[in-house]
Structure 1
Amino acid sequence: MERHFPKKAVHGGKAQELRRTFGCDFLDVSASMNPHVPAFPVDYSCADLSFYPDDSYIELKESISRVFERNVDEICVGNGSAELIRVYCHTTLKTGDIARIDQPTFSEYGLSAELAGAEIRSGDQLGNQKPKVRFICNPNNPTGTLLSREQMLAELELCTSDGTKLFVDEAFMDLSEPEDSITDLRSPDLFVMRSLTKSFCVPGIRFGFGFGDPDLIAKIETARTPWTVNAFAEYYAKLALAHYHELRDSARKLAEERDWYYARLRDLELSYEESTVNYILIHLDRDAAHFTRAMIDKGILVRDCTSFGLARSIRVSVETREKNVRVLEAVEACLR
């Protein structure tokens, strides 16, 4: 029997595709980028394209090491977090293994696990079975909910006792509560992933990095495509890491604007999930796909959360006040 091949995961950030379809510009609040990026000069002419990148990425890993106080052999890098998820799954999972993924959450975990041959189960579907890997997105996408450091320590302890590996995606942690991060923890059962995409608003760069036991990191670095981090991405990442501490100011500004946003949503009598990051999951009394299409007619691209299993919910990023007002005016109009 031919093996079932999964469908490609659905993501936000479709502005360029929609411009080709509709021939107009959009305010994209579907991709959840940081609107308060640290300011520093970037001169891409400094990236030398006449040589292959150093595939060991030692200097880049040393920059990461200085920020996170982890040894270089505990750090891996990749072409965005998506590549690291894919490589991690091919490194740790095989046909017949079980991956625990509680929904709703980022769809790349399930796709990558399936491509590696694993079966997907949620916590309430496990019964007496023990998963090979448990995936946790913290803060979670699309809800924005955050598990505390104490909760994550308990999760790791439980996974270790069950013989389960724990994969933790902290892509949005810098825009939330960094003190709840577990990037400093060392365990052969733990892998923690980070990304510059959201916090520095550079989805076009494609750069992610992760922390784990040196033996696991060596396997991931062997399995990933050679020279996967290009010269532009490496150059930018080194600059950004020198300004990493400035993301605390971004998180503070986002928290203030998020509270303002909540008040406006309550005025519209819309329910929502309490978020700790730069996006809000909003629940509607109608079909999300139709509502998303109506918002496109208003020049606004929101994230239809049907692909998360939430057919009556949308996700919007928290932007600057001017943009947030524009989004909420469009939401109000589309609710009429």
Structure 2
Amino acid sequence: MTLHPQEIPSTATQSVPHGDDLFRYPGMVKANFSSNVWPGGMLPQLRQCLSGHIDSLGSYPPPHGEMVTARLALHLGVATGCLLLTNGTAEAIYLIARFFAGQVSRIVMPTFSEYEHACALFGHQVEPWHDTEHFDGCHFRHGLFWVCNPNNPTGRIVSREAILSMVADNPSCCFVVDEAYQGLAQEVPSLVNAVEIFPNLLVLRSLTKTYAVPGLRVGYVVGHPDLIGRLAAFQPPWSVNALALHMVDFAVQHRPFTPDELSDYLRRSRHLQMAIGQIAGCEVTASPTGYFIVRTPVLAAQLKEQLVQRFGLLVRDASSFNGLSAYDIRIAVQEDESNRLLLDALRQLVAGE
């Protein structure tokens, strides 16, 4: 018998570089600026919650986390059928790309590379969308439109009004809005409460960015019940593990940080952006979030290695983002002392001070 597996596009077989490659530098990194999750680390109460439920790993969790889904939906103010828990937002991205296989996907770039990779894997025709200033008056007869809001890696924010205007004007196009970093910015209203009005809207959310547990892999997608039901049919059972389900329950009851802590985090980001921008050779793209792009005269890959090897500081080589250059790095703000170490290192490596 001859097997004829489905042909996979060559672009989909290429590995996708990711930001936090701390594992490549065991024992070398003193401060990690490459991962744009909450820098305060895991809450002690969450650590206690997870360790207290370690025995739950001894049995299978509910196949689709039904009861936890219901509690999270109630917390968000949406119907249970509007929500699907996923193994991080990455699983949601691949479920959507698979469900809409072969469609045209317009992706606002530069952005998270998994949108493009997932779409290529499932035969989408990918159309990069670089015009972030003019969302009004766009008309699409079909396909998908992907936008990360706030965007990773630039921090760009598109207003709720602009996105919903596009969603309303294009009922035959599915809009995928990734709000994974919404909790790490101020004045970015979520679109979650609009999904029951617009059947062509899907909103992706992550719990691991704000709670600083990216290794746990837990997120969710919110949309119209008809669309969520069809996406769920593609999801394998037990995608969300037992500890991740307990983490969702924890998140329903506990905030990841206080408003004052968020304000201080963004204050540190503004200060760091301004200070780096004053270093000769450093060009900062202003961001209202805790992460931002810096362009220097040094190749990003080279600068990254020098920062690790000489100073124990890890940044993100952002050259792999479609639309950015080989000289771009992404920096995620840390605590003040670590930020000072980075400033001193950049002054030496970039400005020669």
Do residues 52 (structure 1) and 68 (structure 2) align? no
Do residues 271 (structure 1) and 277 (structure 2) align? no
Do residues 17 (structure 1) and 32 (structure 2) align? no
Shift, 1:247, TM fit:
5.3
State whether residues 111 and 152 of structure 2, in contact with CA within 8 Å, keep that contact through their aligned partners in structure 1.
yes
Separation in 2, partners of 1:247, 1:223:
37
TM-score, normalised on structure 1? 0.91
Do residues 4 (structure 1) and 30 (structure 2) align? no
Do residues 114 (structure 1) and 124 (structure 2) align? no
1:139 is matched by which residue type in structure 2? P
1:286-324 CA distance string (max 9 Å, x none): 321111111111211100111013211100111111111
Do residues 181 (structure 1) and 194 (structure 2) align? no
How many residue pairs end up in the alignment? 328
Q: 1:84 to 1:201 in 2, by over 3 A?
A: same
Q: What is the correspondence of 1:45-194 to structure 2 with a 5 Å cutoff?
A: 45-47=52-54, 48-91=56-99, 93-95=100-102, 97-123=103-129, 130-160=141-171, 163-177=172-186, 179-186=188-195, 187-194=198-205
Q: What is the correspondence of 1:264-303 to structure 2 with a 5 Å cutoff?
A: 264-269=275-280, 270-297=282-309, 298-303=311-316
Flag structure 1 segments of 5+ consecutive residues without an equivalent.
none
Q: 1:112 to 1:313 in 2, by over 3 A?
A: same
Q: What is the correspondence of 1:230-269 to structure 2 with a 5 Å cutoff?
A: 230-244=241-255, 246=257, 248-269=259-280
Shift, 1:275, TM fit:
1.1
State whether residues 156 and 287 of structure 2, in contact with CA within 8 Å, keep that contact through their aligned partners in structure 1.
yes
2:73 is matched by which residue type in structure 1? S
Q: 1:292 to 1:130 in 2, by over 3 A?
A: farther
Separation in 1, partners of 2:152, 2:231:
24
Q: 1:120 to 1:131 in 2, by over 3 A?
A: farther
Q: 1:46 to 1:4 in 2, by over 3 A?
A: closer
Separation in 2, partners of 1:61, 1:233:
12
Shift, 1:3, TM fit:
4.6
State whether residues 105 and 140 of structure 1, in contact with CA within 8 Å, keep that contact through their aligned partners in structure 2.
yes
Flag structure 2 segments of 5+ consecutive residues without an equivalent.
1-5, 132-137
Q: 1:314 aligns with which of 301, 325, 329?
A: 329
Shift, 1:149, TM fit:
1.3
Q: 1:238 to 1:128 in 2, by over 3 A?
A: closer
1:204-246 CA distance string (max 9 Å, x none): 1100111001111112222112101111111122112312374
Separation in 1, partners of 2:167, 2:157:
16
State whether residues 155 and 289 of structure 2, in contact with CA within 8 Å, keep that contact through their aligned partners in structure 1.
yes
Greater mean deviation of Cα atoms: 81-90 or 24-33 = 24-33
Q: 1:13 to 1:123 in 2, by over 3 A?
A: closer
Q: 1:31 to 1:57 in 2, by over 3 A?
A: same
Shift, 1:131, TM fit:
5.0
2:21 is matched by which residue type in structure 1? K
2:207 is matched by which residue type in structure 1? L
Instruction: Please give the secondary structure, in 2, of the residue aligned with 1:191.
Output: strand
> Hey, which bits of structure 1, 4+ residues long, moved more than 4 A?
127-131
State, as a whole percentage, how many aligned pairs show the same letter. Answer: 27
Shift, 1:35, TM fit:
1.8
Greater mean deviation of Cα atoms: 77-86 or 65-74 = 65-74
Separation in 1, partners of 2:166, 2:115:
18
State whether residues 144 and 273 of structure 1, in contact with CA within 8 Å, keep that contact through their aligned partners in structure 2.
no
Separation in 2, partners of 1:286, 1:238:
45
